[in-house]
Structures are given as C-alpha cells and as structure tokens.
Amino acid sequence: MIKTGKEIIENPIFVKIGAAADRLGLDTYVIGGYVRDAILGRDSKKDIDVVCIGSGIALAEEVAREFNLPEHQVSVFKNFGTAMLKVDDWDLEFVGARKESYQRDSRKPIVEEGSLEDDQNRRDFTINAMAVQLNSMHWGKLLDPFDGLKDLEARILRTPLEPGITFSDDPLRMMRAIRFAAQLGFDIHPTTFEALQVENVRLEIISMERISEELNKIILCRKPSYGFLLLDACGILPIIFPEFVKLKGVDTEEGKGHKDNFYHTLQVLDNISQHTDDLWWRWAAILHDIAKPATKRFDPKKGWTFHGHEEMGARQVPAIFKRLKLPLNEKMKLVQKLVRLHLRPIALSKEEITDAALRRLLFEAGEDLEALMTLCRADITSKNGDKVKRYLKNFDKVEEKLKEVEEKDSLRNFQPVISGEIIMQVFDIGPGKEIGLIKVAIREAILEGQVKNDLASAWEFMLEEGKKLGLNPQLSLTDLA
C-alpha cells in the first residue's frame, strides 16, 4: 500500500497544477477519490479533484495556460465556484475550499469560503478526506486529519464527523456508503452503520434519479450481492426497492418448503456478474423472479408452484423501471425479454429437444440469445454441486443443438421471406386482416419445420393459405421475379 504523498502524485500533471498554483500564491491540494485509489493501488477513474484556498476558477484558468490550452476549454460554474478542464484523458475539477451548513428540511447547503480543514470536514468519508499538497514548498505533504489512511488499512468505511449529521445533511451519502463498501469490499464502522439505520428515511428528499445512479454502481460491483445485503440490513432496500424485498422468506406447507427467492436472486446476480459487466443483463438477473411472490401457490401433489411468474414479471418491468427512473427504452425492452424467456432454455434442458422448440427460441431471443443463455446459466443454483454440474451439462447440449439449428436454418432474427407487401401484390388486395393471418401462418410453418424459409418453398404454402381465405393469386412466382 502506497503511504507517502509524493508517491501519490507521481503523475506529471500535478507538477503543472502545482506550478500554476505557486504563480497565483494559492495553497492547492489534490483530494478525494484519486488520493484514495492511489493509496489502494486501484485503477482510478480519470477524475482528479483539486481544492485550493481561494478561487478554484482562477486556478483552473491558470492551469489551462500552463498546458497551453485555449480559454474556452475551461468550463466555469460560477454559482458553485467550480471549474472543469480536460487534459488528455483526465477530467480536472477545481474548487475553492469551503465550509457548508444545512437546514433540516433541505439538502442544499449554505456555502461559505473556508480553510482546507473546513473542506475536509464536509467530506463524506475519512478515506475520501485525505489531501496531498501540490505547492513546491510542501510538495507531496499528506494531510489526513481523520486517519483515513488507517481506515484504508483496516478496510473500514467511516464518516469524518458525527455520522448522523453527515447523513442527515446529505442523505445521498447513505447510498454512497453502501456503494463504496461494495466497490472496495470494506466493512462499515458500527457507529456509521447505526446512523444509516436511523437516518434512512431521509432518503425520501433525494430524487430517484440520483438514488438509482448509486444503485446501478452497486449493481456493477464485482460482487453486487454484498451491496444489496447491506442495503437490506440498514433498512434502505425496503424504501427504494420494496418489490425486491418481497422475495424474502420461505413458506412451508405439509413439510414442503421452497427456496428463499431473495437469496437465490442475489446468487444469480453474483453468478451473471462473473460473466458480464453489462448493467442491463445484471438487471435481468435482479428481476427474473420478481413476480414469484404474486404467483406463489401450494399444490398438495406438486408442492410450491410459481406458474406464469416469467410472464407476470415481464409485465412488471416497465412499472419498476418507471418508478426507479431507469430508461424506458430498448434497455428496458431487453430486460423485459430476458425476464419473459428465462425459463425456456432451462425447460429445454429437461426434456427431449425438438428442432421446432429450438427454432422458436432462436426466433424469440434473436440477437439477445447470448444474454438469455448467460442469464439461464447463472440461474442454475443449488447447494448440491453435483446437481448444478448435471444441469450445466444438459445446458451444454441445448447450446450445441441451438448452434446446429441456427447454422441449418439461419433463424436468428429471421424475417419470413414472404412479406406483407408480396402477399398484397400476389392477391391484388389492400391492407387487411387477411395479410396478418397469412403472415402468421407462414411464420408458424417455418418455425415448425414444415416449410423452408426461402421463396420457392413458402410460395405454395402462401397460395394454400390464401385459398382458405377465398383469395385468388393474380401473379405467378415468375411474374414476381
């Protein structure tokens, strides 16, 4: 673990920031996440936060001159007293040191100019309050008033000041606490955790967009279940995601129980996270069983059933996305599709596989087949390792068969070779229900393997279907060509 300030600021960019600060006579420091990640030896985002005693805007403009950058490249936010500048791949943010005070009914602080100590006091966690001086006279001096270095070594997350005040002042810090703990694999200090439990209701004044932004960062962690368990333990999860909490618990009837779908889902989430960093694939893992509480029934012969939970879950996805302020676009539709189809490959692995069933899966999954199969593999959970191996082996057979059928029939995202326009031309009719009936019949025949997906094979089938509807062809196949 890096422990000296000079090692933290080895990046040549800090020499130029320090030179600009010296010219202006401003005590200047790099602070926050960059310092934390450098000490941990962790790949940092390309963000550097710089704080100075004085005008952060003036410093940003001087640093731009140091790098021979045009003035317009400095983005100034006068209301906040901050400025931003991009140098190579680095995003630099400059701010004057400040102190903040809050009123109970608002999370907007009253901001005043302050000292470095004031600025460190307002930071969320001790590990984010460490600063390294950039001025030549004190180059590399590490200022760590809250023992953030010790907390990094102990892998503990703790607030600099009294945690109840820290979280009440800015309730989003509670989500950040869970996010940092999950990202870094840290424990949360007991007094800090107690404050999370007491102050969690304060999250109600934070916009759902900002809460979901932090939630998504938790979901993108290497082991996201840890973050969810912390959210649940401190009482935040029922506030922000009540649908997920309903998965908890095991009912027993006549000595028969079912798995706890809360912990099963977290296992599926961790499983899929080993194979993809795609946020929406991970959201599909979170929501794949979301309708199980609503569909749970006990059958004396079969035990516990959840019939139709995949379809009901897919219908719930838009409402959940809307409430959480997640995008209501193609990403949502992907999650919806994966939730709806997640049982299909697993069902195929348990029965005699027909080409027709495989064609239908290829057709319905389309370009998202890889995502679906990744989710389904993640969904195979059991304390019995042999059982898991057996299921995965059967799953391998399904994937092999899918490849064979795909190579043979080219059904991924297929469109029947005979379109609605061709049907209207051949029978010399306008748009109407007959077109849809014939198109569906052709599609079903292709999926069932009765007809090949080529013009010659499908032509005669189309004519037969038209005949059933009292339609007479006005063109021949050669006329169409």
Render pLDDT for 353-387 as a digit per residue (tens, 0 to 9): 777 888 888 888 888 999 999 999 999 887 777 77
Q: Which helix (H) or strand (E) holds 162?
A: none
Q: Looking at the whole model, is its pTM more than 0.75? A: yes
Residue where a domain stops, chosen among 185, 220, 240? 240
Q: Which amino acid, 367? A: E
Residue 471 lies in a domain: yes
Same domain, 178 and 148: no
**Structural domains counted in the chain:** 4
Q: Are 461 and 451 in contact (CB under 8 A)?
A: yes
Q: Are 7 and 132 in contact (CB under 8 A)?
A: no
Same domain, 13 and 143: yes
Residue 407 lies in a domain: no
Same domain, 141 and 171: no
Residue 182 lies in a domain: yes
Residue with tokens 């424990």: 187
Maximum Cα interatomic distance, the chain, rounded to a whole number of Å:
94
pLDDT in tens, the chain (481 residues): 666 788 899 899 999 999 999 999 999 999 999 999 999 988 767 899 999 999 999 999 999 999 999 888 999 998 888 999 999 889 999 999 987 655 555 556 556 678 899 889 889 999 999 999 999 999 999 999 999 999 999 999 999 999 998 998 899 999 999 999 999 999 999 999 999 999 999 999 999 999 999 999 999 999 999 999 999 999 999 999 999 999 998 887 877 777 899 999 999 999 999 999 999 999 999 999 999 999 999 888 888 889 999 999 999 999 999 999 999 999 999 999 999 999 988 777 766 777 788 888 888 888 899 999 999 999 988 777 777 787 788 888 888 888 887 777 665 556 677 888 889 988 989 888 989 898 888 888 888 888 887 788 888 888 988 988 988 988 888 877 6
Q: What is the CATH number of the domain that holds 196?
A: 1.10.110.30
Same domain, 130 and 221: no
Residue 79 lies in a domain: yes
Helix (H, G, I), strand (E, B) or coil at 339: helix
Cβ neighbors of 183 (< 8 A, separation 6 or more) are: 217, 218, 221
pLDDT of residue 1: 66
Residue 347 lies in a domain: yes
Same domain, 443 and 335: no
pLDDT of residue 153: 95
Residue 322 lies in a domain: yes
According to DSSP, the residues that pair with 299 across neighbouring strands are 303
Helix (H, G, I), strand (E, B) or coil at 220: coil
DSSP tag of 73? G
Show the domain range for 195: 163-240
Phi, psi of 251 (to 5 degrees): -95, 150
Residue 268 lies in a domain: no
Same domain, 35 and 89: yes
Q: Are 125 and 108 in contact (CB under 8 A)?
A: no
pLDDT of residue 298: 87
pLDDT of residue 347: 77
Q: What is the CATH number of the domain that holds 58?
A: 3.30.460.10
**Which pLDDT tens digit goes with each residue over 195-234?**
999 999 999 999 999 999 999 999 999 999 999 999 999 9
Same domain, 327 and 453: no
